[in-house]
Amino acid sequence: MRALADSAQAPFSLPDEVLQALRRRFGARCSTALAQRELHGRDESPFDVAPPDAVVFAESNEEVAFVLQLAQQHRVPVIPYGTGTSLEGHLLAVQGGISLDLSRMKSILQLHSEDLTVTVQAGVTRQQLNQEIRHSGLFFPIDPGADASLGGMAATRASGTNAVRYGTMRENVLGLTVLTASGEQIRTGSRARKSSAGYDLTRLFVGSEGTLGVITELTLRLYPLPEAVSAAICFFPSIDAAVQTTIAIIQMGIPIARCELLDAHAVRAVNAHDHLGLRESPMLLMEFHGSAASVAEQAQSVQALAAEQGGEAFEWASTPEARTRLWTARHHAYLSALQTRPGCRCVTTDTCVPISRLAESINESVREVEATDLPYFIVGHVGDGNFHMGYLIDPQQPAERELAERLSAQMVARALRLGGTCTGEHGIGLHKQGFLLDEAGPGAVALMRSIKAALDPAQIMNPGKIFAS
């Protein structure tokens, strides 16, 4: 992390002309206060803060265009900002510039419940969306854990717990309003469910991490709230047994809606934090959506598969309250784990492999970390072959950080050998640029760079991310 710390110290500053223009247009919504800048120069990663030179709170497409045109003219970096919950250093202003905060663009613009679509501004968070559309009987399923903004979720191609059934942001964004690097407003996609009209600009901007333009509006697919929902937890004698159960569920094509793994460390942490009294062994947390009959049938099939692997102590929850209690374990895992080691920070990994290689991938990673003294925990969207290992490091101990990075590099190398990816859902940011090169190869990365150069010739959009500048 030394290079990053260095660049965070580098003396950036906005041209005075730019700052004056921002102040004239935005007044108090343009801030250079250190506290604001530091808040906007970090994310949930363990990287040191790299504050932008100014923070601007935009409230309309026109304001976003204004900032981009000004930045373009003066070659100033612009970093789109949602809720600050990304995990790979995406928001750090490693070359200074303007943090363009979109959190005030939080209107739901058009709900078309009869078409199962909604158009929202980029600052709307997923919880706000589901709250506001509750009356329609519809919901938006993508749940990355954090109450992230939908613009940010699109920018990092987020997924999370429901992806095994409903897909990721890739599958659930129908269209976008984007302000290009030059400040031109374009629209990608229509409200139709499918289209073959030209290049797939929607999917190009989904996952582009703010490096190609600013997403300001999104048209999303919604789903009818299932007639019946049932959640269950089940405990296993080993991680391997839990993973083998998952593999069988996926291979049989059971349309499970959520299939989450917590290892014993994660369960212990949430027990301590929330007094849940769960058995401290590897656990699958599952959810089934559908008609009452279909949910019952899925649950029965899964229980049989789990039993073959020694899964037991099934606990079922069909009421919303009972489900919330079970899901508390999953949703609090990260924060609870952080509290098991006061003052620690978490280095989180994010590999995703073909489902048949998941056991090998997790077992080897466990073996490697167990050979050290580093505290860790595992949570995983295992139905997708995606899991996170969190290494709890003391930020004052460079050796611990190096160890975590070495273990993480070994995990990624293994995932790539097994046909997987270096990141299932967190993105590249600052942290995985080398891994991207390993995974995609120099030819594909060169092609990505040529797209970046074509769409952002002045290199103002979140520079230094995805590719080293």
Which residues within the stretch 67-96 sit at the binding site for its own copies (CB under 8 A)? none
Under the binding rule (CB under 8 A), the answer on residue 34 touching its own copies is: no
Contact letters for its own copies, residues 296-335 (x by CB under 8 A): -x--------------------------------------
Under the binding rule (CB under 8 A), the answer on residue 469 touching its own copies is: no
Contact window for its own copies (CB under 8 A) among 9-17, 34-42, 353-361, 398-406: 353-361
For residue 437, the Cα-to-chain-centroid distance in whole angstroms is 21
Under the binding rule (CB under 8 A), the answer on residue 468 touching its own copies is: no
114 to each of 110, 111, 197, how far by Cα in Å? 12, 9, 24
In a 3-state reduction of DSSP, which class is residue 441?
A: helix
Q: How far is 468 from 247, CA to CA, in rounded Å?
A: 37
Task: Report, in Å, the least distance between residue 364 CB and its own copies.
Answer: 17
Phi, psi of 288 (to 5 degrees): -125, 135
Q: Which of 321, 303, 324, 299 is nearest to 312 (CA)?
A: 303
Under the binding rule (CB under 8 A), the answer on residue 201 touching its own copies is: yes
Rg (C-alpha) for the chain, rounded Å, is 22
Under the binding rule (CB under 8 A), the answer on residue 191 touching its own copies is: yes
- Cβ neighbours, 10 Å, residue 321: 7
Task: Report, in Å, the least distance between residue 76 CB and its own copies.
Answer: 22
Handedness of CA 266, 269, 274, 277 (dihedral sign): positive
Task: Report, in Å, the least distance between residue 296 CB and its own copies.
Answer: 9
Q: How far is 4 from 255, CA to CA, in rounded Å?
A: 43
Positions in 213-272 near its own copies (CB under 8 A): 223-224, 226, 247, 250-253, 255
Under the binding rule (CB under 8 A), the answer on residue 186 touching its own copies is: yes
Under the binding rule (CB under 8 A), the answer on residue 422 touching its own copies is: yes
CA within 13 Å, CB half, 52: 30
Q: How far is 226 from 219, CA to CA, in rounded Å?
A: 21
Q: Which of 129, 243, 407, 466 binds its own copies (CB under 8 A)?
A: 466
**Closer CB to its own copies, residue 36 or residue 462?**
462
Under the binding rule (CB under 8 A), the answer on residue 455 touching its own copies is: yes
Site size for its own copies (CB under 8 A): 92
C-beta of residue 140 within 8 angstroms of C-beta of residue 220 = yes
Contact window for its own copies (CB under 8 A) among 46-54, 323-331, 393-401, 422-430: 422-430
**Closer CB to its own copies, residue 246 or residue 336?**
246
